[in-house]
A and B are shown apart, each in its own frame.
Chain A
Amino acid sequence: MGLIAREIEAAGVPTVSMTSAWDITEAVAPPRSVYVHAPLGHQTGAPGDAEGQRAIVRAALEAGLAIQRPGQICPLPWRWPGDAGWELRAYTPEHTPTAPDGKPNRGSSPARGPRAFAPEEI
């Protein structure tokens, strides 16, 4: 997604990008990023929480437009309301990511846990 943000910004349209993957965003460096601390698949909030989603999007647009330095990432104070400790499990073998060839990774059990994300910015 960062590549697309850079392409659009270079064409003369300002961009604001959401992210929940700080390290990837730092590497790709889109012009303006707003960080939400949540599992992937929830960059604009938790399911069923319309009010929270609106608050995140509003805060993200306001914070994003206030960014002054290219490549800056602004963290939002919002807290993920789901399970604690998800950071330790995210994208680990127990959580069944899909390999780039589309097959489940060795040692993973498709019946258990969510499928982890496949990063986009590659």
Chain B
Amino acid sequence: MVRPSNTVPYIERTRRLYARQAPYRWVEHDPAREPTPWTPVERPLAATRVALIASGGVHRDDQEPFHFRNDTSHRELPPDTPAARLRVSHFGYDVRDAARDPGCVFPLRALRELIAEGVLGGFAGPALSFMGGIYSARRVREELAPRLRDLVLRQEADLAYLVPA
């Protein structure tokens, strides 16, 4: 795990930018006290059914857009949803590129192509999409994470592929 030399110091810049706000509380896990969960991978990629989970605020044109902040709802998008029907609602990052090409943060098309090539086994079910601008770690822990976990379990996915934005 060699950290590239040019990574952006987001934590430091966030603290500086939001110095006038209540202090940012980053979630930190000390591996000594809270070991990182681990489930062994048992299948090759070509036999793996994947659940896509993405936080870039992507939804279908007939679904309700995400709210401004602390919206812990999610949308389910069938894997064959055409890119032309995808919309982005997210206040927290520059969405211009994602609006032009949702593949930047919502790789449905790339996954479809990999499945067609036989590289990947398939989709486990609809893609699960939400808007990552949630400033309450408690609400993520208590509302969103358990709901997404249960949906992934219901899909009987072999792998969850998580794409933030």
Residues of A that sit less than 8 Å from B by CB: 1-24, 27-31, 35, 37, 39-48, 50, 53-54, 56-58, 60-62, 65, 69-75, 87, 90-93, 97-102, 105-106, 114-122
Contact = CB atoms under 8 A, between A and B. Distances in A.
B27 A27 contact: yes
Given A41-B104, A53-B110, A65 B45 contact: yes
A44 B101 CA distance: 11
A115 B27 contact: no
B85 interface: no
B27 to A, nearest CB: 5
A87 B31 CA distance: 29
B2 A75 contact: yes
A53 B112 CA distance: 12
Contacts of A121: 26-27, 137
Contact of A15 (B97, B141, B162): B162
Given A44-B110, A105-B17, A1 B162 contact: yes
Contacts of B45: 61-62, 65
B29 A14 contact: no
30 contacts: A4-B53, A7-B149, A8-B53, A8-B145, A9-B36, A15-B159, A17-B162, A18-B161, A23-B7, A24-B11, A27-B26, A29-B31, A30-B162, A39-B94, A40-B93, A41-B98, A44-B107, A61-B50, A62-B45, A87-B8, A91-B8, A91-B14, A99-B21, A100-B69, A116-B93, A118-B93, A118-B133, A119-B10, A120-B55, A121-B137
Given A45-B107, A75-B4, A105-B17, 5 more contacts: A14-B159, A14-B160, A91-B13, A92-B13, A118-B133
Contact of B159 (A16, A24, A92): A16
Contacts, number: 275
Nearest to A41: B93
B interface, how many residues as a size bin?
A: 35 or more
Contacts of B113: 50, 54
Nearest first, the 8 closest Cβ-Cβ pairs linking A and B are A118-B92, A114-B94, A70-B36, A47-B101, A10-B37, A117-B93, A120-B132, A7-B145
B64 interface: no
Nearest to A115: B94
Given A23-B11, A74-B1, A91 B17 contact: yes
Contacts of A53: 103-104, 107, 109-110
